[in-house]
Structure 1
Amino acid sequence: MTSRELDALDRRILYTLQAEARRTSSTDIADSLDASASTVRNRIQRLEADGVLRGYHADVDYERAGYQLYTLIVCTAPIPEREELAEAAAAVPGVVEVQEVMTGERNVMVRAIGVDGDDLSRIGEELDELGLRVSDEDLIRNTHRSPYAKFGDGDE
């Protein structure tokens, strides 16, 4: 994977999209950054093509959607198998996100939605069958996000 140097305009575009991608058009971004809408569209396309901007994701309030059991399942995977096991965990029904952690024993974080306690038990069992050792399970109350401030600084 290669990385590329982002200039101030690229960083500001990323910051703006992180803050509110759904309700922000390239024209809105252009107006706030003193650039043309076509320049912003071209930059976004290049950021997508380069793999810097990987997608646009819905932020779902699972509780309001009727799923009370939004859970963080902390797991341990053998280091040589971590990536493979994390990818396999993402395919378990009910799992909505998997993160690989680079340090420590608790190196795979699984976010899952369960409709009831039995469903969460099933998810934990399936993760165990894959070869992940479940260390902890925590119900998530809220998730708070903010855009990466360095993208919004405008510095070269």
Structure 2
Amino acid sequence: MVDDPLNNLDRRILHLLQIDARGASDTDIANETDVTGTTIHNRIKQLEKQEVILGYNPEINYEAAGYPMRVLFICSTELSRRSDMAKEALEVRGVVNVREMLAGEENLHVEVVAEATSDVKVSTEQLDELGLQIVTSNILAEEHTQPWNHFHQEIAGEPDTLSESESTEE
């Protein structure tokens, strides 16, 4: 992998997509970055090809969708099996997110959504059947996220200063 795979234009595109990936057209992003829509389209395709952009996922209000229970299970598994267990955990009923921790005993965090506590119980049993040791579980009240504008500190609020090679269409 290249030491710095992103240039200033790529960073701006990523930030603007984080703010509104669904509503931001190539033209809208081009207007914000002073390059053409074609350049933006090409850059986004390149970022997808490089797997910098992995997908476009909606942010779901599970409670409004009829799933008021959100539980975070903190689990332990052998480090050598962590990735395989994460993939298996994704198949468990209600699991919407699995995070692998780098090290330590509490190395798999599994988020489950459910309609009722009886559904959470089913998910708990399925996680146990996989061989995961559930260390603790917590009911999630709220989650707060924001776009990460630190791809490159100097781009925040400053006019984009692109080099000639960055602004040329690909």
Query: Paired residues, what number?
Result: 155
Q: Which deviates more from structure 2 when the two are superposed, residues 7-16 or residues 132-141? A: 132-141
Q: Which deviates more from structure 2 when the two are superposed, residues 49-58 or residues 95-104? A: 95-104
CA distance in 2, matches of 1:143, 1:51: 26
Q: TM-score normalized by structure 1? A: 0.93
Q: Structure 1: state its 5+ residue gaps.
A: none
- State the match for 1:12 in structure 2: 12
- Counterpart contact for 2:79–2:103, Cα < 8 Å: no
Q: CA deviation digits over 1:38-77, x for unaligned, max 9?
A: 1001000000011110000011101111211011111111
- State the match for 2:54 in structure 1: 54
Q: Structure 2: state its 5+ residue gaps.
A: 156-160, 163-170
Residues 13-92 of structure 1 mapped to structure 2, 5 A cutoff: 13-92=13-92
Greater C-alpha Rg: 2
CA distance in 1, matches of 2:25, 2:70: 31
What is the aligned-residue RMSD (CA, Å)?
A: 1.6
Displacement of 1:151 in angstroms is: 2.5
CA distance in 1, matches of 2:133, 2:149: 35
Ranges of 4+ aligned residues in structure 1 off by more than 2 Å: 151-156
SS in 1 for 2:98: strand
Q: Which letter maps to 1:10?
A: D
Q: TM-score normalized by structure 2? A: 0.86
- Counterpart contact for 1:15–1:152, Cα < 8 Å: no
Displacement of 1:26 in angstroms is: 1.1
- Counterpart contact for 1:16–1:152, Cα < 8 Å: no
